[in-house]
Amino acid sequence: MSVELVEVSKVVGSETHIRSVSMKLEAGSLNILLGPTLSGKTSLMRLMAGLDEPTSGRIFANDRDVTGIPVRKRDVAMVYQQFINYPTLTVYENIASPLRVAKRPKAEIDSKVKEAADLLKITAMLDRTPLELSGGQQQRTALARALVKGAELVLLDEPLANLDYKLREELREELPRVFSESGTVLVYATTEPTEALLLGGNTATLHEGSVTQFGPTLDVYRRPHDLLTAQVFSDPPMNLMQVQLAGGQLQLADGQHMPVAGLLQGLPDGRYTLGMRPNHLALERPTEGAVEVTAEVTVTEITGSESFVHVGFAGERWVVLAHGVRDLSAGDRVPVYIDAERLFIFDAEQRLKAAPGLQAAA
């Protein structure tokens, strides 16, 4: 089944929850909704499911207009971060419930329930009730129920947030494969750019109810159409620097100057915003052509094998991802190296002009 949204909007009172969204999700595809809390991910999923009706626009399933058709008349499964299970039923019966409603044969129900329970590592808990489970085990039960239903559209709203790290890693690999084999359209909402990259598929970046870009995940990450998309798809946040290019000179907001190098060469004069991901800055010179600036340390976060060094430069706050443990204190002045070949350059309208591997556009 394919799902298509055409100019879909949702207004509640004076608030616009979804703003004129158009995109098509193909059968067997994994589609990620990426954005911060309150960006519209859950609202968009509820519209796709038929739990809510759009204020304007149309929704199609296999080219059939399903706008306004309620969820009970659609082939949809949805799992929220705040899982929902039937408290009086065993885990087995919770998972089996959609199959019993569909009047599937007893042997098929038993086989599918046990297969899903094995995948989600809850086989030993099939005779328990949800109240006897941990939060993570209850979430796995809800996921298993969605899995056995075999719906053509499966919507997962931050479904792994309550699970431990090892199981999250396993399910990120397994869930897309399992659903894609059946031709299911899988929609997966997350606030984490790293999770979107791990899952792959396609990604729609959301901001205040608008889809800023939709396409193959790596393409959106590597070629954000605009600054807003680049910021949504960056954690820690993308480092920014406001510059003015004039007469072969690059002037910073505080009056300092930098050499015009790398992707900056060949751009017409004007105002630009430079974007640098934390892993594209360094505390040691990475290449001969790297530009050196001096910044002041504000705080250092040590994660073990890496350190996130927060610095201030030219009125901006940056984060540098440095390898190893960095023993730096607030107030220390350190050299920060900018690789001019790994910049994201946005024009005065915040549209992408150049990026790593993309030649600067005049």
Q: Is residue 116 part of a domain?
A: yes
Structural domain span for residue 210: 3-230
Dump pLDDT digits (tens) for 25-83. 998 899 999 999 999 999 999 999 999 999 999 999 999 999 999 888 888 998 887 77
Global pTM?
Answer: 0.89
Residue 47, pLDDT score: 96
Task: Quote the number of domains for the chain.
Answer: 2
Residue 160, pLDDT score: 83
Q: Is residue 360 part of a domain?
A: no
Q: Is residue 179 part of a domain?
A: yes
In CATH, what number is assigned to the domain containing residue 241?
A: 2.40.50.140
Question: Is the pLDDT score of 124 beyond 90?
Answer: yes
Range 322-348 average pLDDT? 93
Residues 217 and 254 in one domain: no
Residue 267 DSSP code: P
Residue that the structure tokens 């705080």 belong to: 299
- Side-chain-facing half-sphere of 301: CA atoms under 13 Å: 8
Residues 114 and 207 in one domain: yes
Tokens standing for 43? 């609202």
Residues 279 and 314 in one domain: yes
Question: Is the pLDDT score of 361 beyond 70?
Answer: no
Range 295-311 average pLDDT? 94
Residues 242 and 208 in one domain: no
From 230, 250, 268, the end of a domain falls on 230
Range 10-22 average pLDDT? 96
**CA-CA distance, 190 to 181, in Å (whole number)?**
22
Residue 279 DSSP code: G
Question: 221, 233 in Cβ contact below 8 A?
Answer: yes
Q: Is residue 161 part of a domain?
A: yes
Residue 25, pLDDT score: 96
Tokens standing for 253? 């907001």
Residues 42 and 184 in one domain: yes
In CATH, what number is assigned to the domain containing residue 170?
A: 3.40.50.300
Residue 265, pLDDT score: 86
Question: Is the pLDDT score of 272 beyond 60?
Answer: yes
From 230, 254, 289, the end of a domain falls on 230
Residues 71 and 173 in one domain: yes
Question: Is the pLDDT score of 359 beyond 80?
Answer: no
Residues 99 and 177 in one domain: yes
Dump pLDDT digits (tens) for 158-179. 888 777 888 888 888 887 877 7
Residues 202 and 286 in one domain: no
Three-state secondary structure call for residue 73: helix
Question: Is the pLDDT score of 362 beyond 70?
Answer: no
Residue 94, pLDDT score: 95
From 181, 197, 230, the end of a domain falls on 230
Q: Is residue 359 part of a domain?
A: no
Residue 360, pLDDT score: 55
Residue 173: what residue type?
A: E
Dump pLDDT digits (tens) for 188-209. 999 999 999 999 999 999 999 9
Q: Is residue 310 part of a domain?
A: yes
Residues 223 and 264 in one domain: no
Q: What is the mean pLDDT of the chain?
A: 91
Closest among 299, 304, 307, 301 to 332, alpha carbons compared: 299
**CA-CA distance, 253 to 158, in Å (whole number)?**
39
Interior CA angle at 123 toward 119 and 129, to 5°? Answer: 120
Residue 236 DSSP code: S
Residues 222 and 251 in one domain: no
Query: What is the distance in angstroms between the CA of the first residue and the CA of the last residue of the chain?
Result: 42
pLDDT class for 266, splitting at 50, 70, 90? confident
Residues 141 and 255 in one domain: no
Dump pLDDT digits (tens) for 131-151. 999 888 888 898 899 889 888
Question: Is the pLDDT score of 254 beyond 80?
Answer: no
Closest among 4, 178, 150, 158 to 75, alpha carbons compared: 150
Residues 169 and 246 in one domain: no
Residue 220, pLDDT score: 97
Tokens standing for 79? 């799992």
Cβ of 42: how many Cβ atoms within 10 Å? 21
